[in-house]
Structure 1
């Protein structure tokens, strides 16, 4: 197959940090090529260099055999390189058609919508995308918004399409549909660069380039390898997947949630009659596409969002008008979905972040001041126990990788939690090895008698880790199932609002 893009000895530095170190890469016409690596391996930096966000410090990029200078995304678009970001760049009150053509040559003093509509409808027909061009973006599902981003790139003439974590917020069915569309594009000659940490998706590509610490470790044909082999190349050793120990059985109700309802910032219903229980020695999974009430449920349980009706209890004791202080003091640990916005103070070091929430505790204070000696000793022990890769306990956590920052949160919450752990997307944005470390620690707490509520968009992980799985859709619990009695298909249908897939009642 003919090469569309060649990268030779590309190096990109940020100060003393080498993000890409002499990278060589070739992308063939009509292939899906995956970039795979740990957090901080250089995948995003490399793709940003290919799209003109960053300018490489050295090396050469050839597109269609010609050496090119990429000083901006505009340069990339003019060449035929498009990119769909994990967080969509769309105008919510514009229509689908308007979002696709904005910024194109069709937008001048007069907007030539009729011609643009014909072109976009042709792209939809070629790609197998069915979407109403006159609907506004806010009316679309997350999956439909992604189609808009892809159509926009194709409308601008992309021959190489870079997709950054394209299925992060999709149901399994939407993910399958995306890959059907990508396969159609590939057959039409379009080249696709896929950045993903999901092995199921990685194995659907034609070739995989594995990066480690900014360098290319290998490029392999997926048809001639296995997911386990690719993972081992990524981290340098074999990764063992954690599974729940079935000899440990739930015993004794810790958290009971009864008909909880809550409203959002605009008075809209975000939780509707949510009911479930979690026992000691149990992991209850929470499945659902982002934005279906998971975050609001955790906020209610942590006392930062008011209850509209219903309530919850801890070990049989009702929690009335809860505050965050009350919840923390009752022995609840909380891992938020946004580690830097809600779980850490980025400018503080590991030592200070390890006592957030308990900074006034006599355990860490000497009079009105923090006891720096005690903080240093705590940080030393936890950095060692949780294998936090940091140059110093005083180094700001904003300079840590996502996986290491998450280890700091785990160390803090597990230090103070006594009976219940609330974990909202604890492996979001983490690579396979970092995710397995998080799950290993969570299962250790399960074995120690904790009750754990675990929300994740990684359904395969929920199936192997959880005793039961509750599925949320538009603020409701669609059903609670046992992993051994359900499948990805059933979970995906329930996540899309199809309650007929429920194989057993709420357990």
Structure 2
């Protein structure tokens, strides 16, 4: 007897103008399996999932759910078919409780008795192994707890097919393990689960099968047990790719940045960085690890002169032996002193680049202060833009294209390329490969290593602990705005880092001297 798939797509095509995002894709998900979907940036993964979740409608092809052909014209249709998508950016209301978010928008939700809702949620969480308090407010929750609310929300509404977009991107190793246990329980209960992720080690650990897309086309589906990281990468890219980060030992290290007891507050007046102290050295990569909102953003912005400092000081030690107290300066002052500091912020189009401007103009932003005349030379910036497009394989019609028309991954390549091209002595990058496919990610890792070997002090905020362990020389761990410790990346483990990221401060100081400096 032929097995009926939970989902089957036949010759599905989706176009955006002249761009073909999905080209006659055939795709299936079995009942009670975990399927990973892999592909480079622009391969069509998100577009395909958006058609299943009702955000887009296919131009051609058929969609079958449980053997029946269906028309999914809206998220409401998708929900009615038992499909629930958990997006990377959560859609929750902070001032409401978990239970209130879970029933929000349901027909007849105003007449539901909250005691009954709490009982039903507790039954669901017990069945699958979640840890969730229905009465807890969202603003008091960790990222992992918010993700749990999103998953329970779609289960409460009757979802049998779940789509998770980069579900482990902001989780600690311990939280990731817990999520995987829950997903396996859901699989045992007959749920079908689709995971979009760039982390090959997680694909190999969790999924039953892997589907690969390349440039909008379906390449194939393989059993995970028969796959390796190298074989999956070759399917994605179309050729063999070296998946090794060539980390060298630091040499001729000199102190470049010293942060002494820095405290910062956010707009609401809450302390987001608390008496933080550390040193960054030339010729090394210092990783910054911590759960979301632990002070990573404020730490980098304080060094760049973009964050108001309540107390403490930051010193910059120049290669010529001079010392500058940059904590008293604004970003414009830092530039005027010719302190060669480059910054790739987390907010690419908010702080890094101007979306309405083309690639050439965005290159010129880096040095606009040096222009003495109204008419400026565009030849050098244009050559730089072309060089970055070629070296980093930026997919764009040309350097005259507005940056906002590029995909998130290509925007990131342009920003990283521009900052590195300014020949900094200190390079700070926040989530430099977020949204990038594996091939592009390794290109960026190699660029950071090149900077390190040139004697640049590289400070890298990352969310993938496996990468930080392979790429960095030391790892600074932030916990609720405090420095929990600085570890030798060659001697520590991601489990130790994960515990330091989440545990309370008692006993945390015992880690602080394990820096090798």
Tell me the TM-score normalised to structure 1 length.
0.96
Residues 8, 25 of structure 1: 8 Å contact kept: yes
| Cα deviation digits, residues 407-432 of structure 1 (max 9, x gap) | 22122212224311011111111111
Give yes or no for contact 1:106–1:112 (8 Å, CA) kept in 2: no
Aligned to 1:428: 434
Q: Deviations over 1:318-364 (max 9, x none)?
A: 224211123343100111112222211112111111121312324xx
Partner of 1:260: 262
Instruction: Sort the Cα spacing of 1:296 and 1:73 in 2 relative to 1 into closer, same or farther, 3 A.
Output: same
Q: How far apart, in 2, do the equivalents of 1:238 and 1:429 lie?
A: 21
Aligned-partner SS, 1:355:
helix
2:473 matches 1:467: yes
Asked if the contact 1:35–1:43 (Cα under 8 Å) also holds between the matched residues in 2, the reply is yes
1:112 Cα deviation after fit? 2.6
- Tell me what 1:97 maps to: 99
| Residue matched to 1:13 | 15
Cα-to-partner distance string for 1:249-298 (whole Å, 9 max, x where unaligned): 25111111111111111111111111111111011100011110000111
Contact kept? 2:4, 2:67, Cα under 8 Å? no
Q: 1:354, 1:379 within 8 Å by CA — same for their partners in 2?
A: yes
Question: Which residue of the partner structure matches residue 320 of structure 2?
Answer: none
Q: Does 1:353 align with 2:362?
A: yes
Match of 1:505 among 489, 501, 513: 513
Q: Show the counterpart of 2:77.
A: 75
Q: How does 1:298-447 map to 2 (within 5 A)?
A: 298-315=300-317, 316-328=323-335, 329-362=338-371, 367-447=373-453
| Whole-angstrom CA distance in 2 between matches of 1:6 and 1:95 | 36
Cα-to-partner distance string for 1:170-211 (whole Å, 9 max, x where unaligned): 111111100100000000000001111111221111111111
Q: Aligned Cα RMSD in Å? A: 1.7
The 3 A distance-change label for structure 1 pair 104 and 277 is same
Secondary structure in structure 1 of the residue aligned to 2:207? coil
Rounded to whole Å, the distance in 2 between the matches of 1:381 and 1:27 is 42
> Residue 450 of structure 1: which of 443, 456, 480 is its match?
456
The answer for unaligned runs of 5 or more in structure 1 is none
How many residues align structurally? 503
- Of the structure 1 ranges 378-387 and 413-422, higher mean CA displacement relative to structure 2 is found in 378-387
Q: Contact conserved, 2:162 with 2:192, CA < 8 A, in 1?
A: yes
**Unaligned ranges ≥5, structure 2:** 318-322
SS of aligned partner of 1:369 = coil
Contact 2:280/2:457, CA 8 A, preserved across alignment: yes
Shift of 1:129: 1.3
SS of corresponding position for 1:154 = helix
Post-superposition shift, 1:382? 3.6
Distance 2:95 2:389 in 1: 47
